[in-house]
Chains A and B, each alone.
Chain A
Amino acid sequence: MDHSSLRRVVPLTLALGLVFAAGPARADGECLDKPNPLIGVGGSASKPLLGKIAPQLLALDEPVTLIYQAPGACFGITTYVDGTRATGTASYWDADGTEQTCNFPVTGVDADFGMLGVQGTLCEGVDAIPDGIGEWTGPITSWSLIVPGDSSQTSISAEAVYFIYGFGAALGQVAPWTVDAELYSRNATSAALIAIALAAGVPPTKFKGTDVGSNQMMISSLAQSTNPEAAIGFVSTEVADQNRDSVRTLAFQATDQTCAYWPDTTATAFDKQNVRDGHYSLWSPYRFYAPVDGGGKFTNPVTEKFVGYFTGAEPLPAELPLLDIVIDNGNIPECAMQVWRDDEIGPLYSRQPDAPCGCYYEFRATGETSCAECTDTCDAGGTCRHGFCEVI
């Protein structure tokens, strides 16, 4: 199905309008009336990052209004597969970063880009990325199995997740997570669910638990649990990190791993060392999807710039310190990764980025690094990047 034909699928659009109508009922005007609107669709995990980028895009010489609807990660690709257009309300952010909502036309709009935390082909009904749609990778997000702050639990294994979410809490018999009402989950359009299901060997469509609908609702469901010891759920780690006052990430022990690790060196750190060096295996690069022409070139120049900022294809304007924004949000730029994988939650291998930024990442994320500072060159060897001596 080509992209232009997708624009004609109005009845399905209307039928799914309520599904897409995420967010407050009162909306501030029409989305398409905003200056230079750039419309994205995908998962709720992306919202904190996009919310930090949006004000910077508004500050550009040619301001761009980033508009995002988060009905579920897989909608970031299925919109280009089944022709579902975005209707209802969406989020945008004003110049000071405050989230607002606006309305899409009742006939719907085509998304300029989709953004999700797993490969689009892992979504149900997506056998292949459609012709006319390009795929690019962005920063890394990790996934957290979380418990309420009042829980005494600190770790979990892939095998335990298999029983808890594959059988259900009561049938799975993994104490203390044996209460079905305290088993919080998402549906199979969630990137977090897909990634964790892959790690545990459970088909995403067979994942048990109550679908709470979004990362943000997962946090509030666990925070308000009346039985915190039995409660468990999952979100993207950056969302968990931003809510450490109410939830805690469990250390995760992958299949074939002898010890469970947190994303960070300790439960209270913010260095993501274990994601970056392969000890914490629940991570994925964000994927962007967008329409391209027969030559693989973006059909929308605004989308091209936006995605290009992430891939490095587009020079970053001074108003957009994207590396800092990514790190500050709790994501990991690819240049700070020491391992990589070719398949989602697949086998890891060591990889040196072409232009590593691990030293700067550590400094920015934690306020300290053992790397030498530099201005232009590194006398003891290495390459000066972002003010620190990297290995190459």
Chain B
Amino acid sequence: MEFEFKRERLVLHAGGQKWEWRIEPRYWRNPLIYIGILIAAPVIVYFIYPPLLPTIIEANLLAAIAIPLALMTMSTGRMNFGPQFYIGIGGYTAALLSIHFHLNPGLTMVAAALGGLVFGFLMSPLAIISGGLYYSLLTLLFPLLFIEATLIFSDLFKGDTGLSGIAPLVSTGIFSLNLLIYAFISLAIMLVYLFAIDKIFRSRYAIQMAAINDDEEVASSIGVNVNKVKILGFTIAATLVAVVGWFYAHYYQAFSGQVFLPLSFMLKIFMVTMLGGRTQIYGCVIGGYFIAFLEMILIRTTGDMSPVLFPIILLILLLVLPEGLFGLYRKRHYREYMPTLRFRR
């Protein structure tokens, strides 16, 4: 048996027979390859080094937040700096219903999604009435107000310590097996978001969003109902992010606004979005894994210094890669990705 590499073909000679495989880069773009890798990774990690499973779960969840955020950014033409607000909505809804009413996780998920939907819809007019810096500041403000609310109404939200005693999603009795199942659930959430939003980004709605991103006034003058697109995009994205909050609550079996609502968590999501490439949903997956693993490595190697080093490394990366990791690819293939984002100044 002999392998031979010639002219972008891998040739296998065995037993007098010959098999050839083309290894041209265009075949590498088959999404099934990457889905296969993402599915295989938790299984491999489970057998080799189970303590790495929480990092994979975190990576999937970061990507699952950044992907709807890309939809929100695309459809409104503005960057939301407070997506963690909807994690708070979803997480607290699930936690309160699970603790006080003993609802099962299926029902709490529906309730969390509804919570995200209602709050998303109520806050979506922000994307119409404000723009640029004002929109960013307003969206930044809401999670911080939510933290204050959790402290003021500490009877309900249990203040700093947060709510605990939430029913788990899975309980097999084996800790590492639980983690493996959580990893698959988080991966399923992320992949469903990825393909649903990919479908939207390839549809007629994407071209509306691209037009809104470029020039709202002109888009409106040629018949695009700008407000409808903004409200729909904002509300759908908020609902999807709230479901991630639901997952966090049932995964940790505890939920505290002090963990998910502060700016440090927003920074992580923001970095996933920026490093992956703004509005590039496939880039969000790369960004999610990159950030989750970078954070884990820094915590293990530098300990107490990691909260300082983490943002510094990310800032350097942002300077070196202004269009994110996916931007490196997009630079050479810009016409393949029709809707791109141009920020409002």
**Is B a genuine binding partner of A?**
no
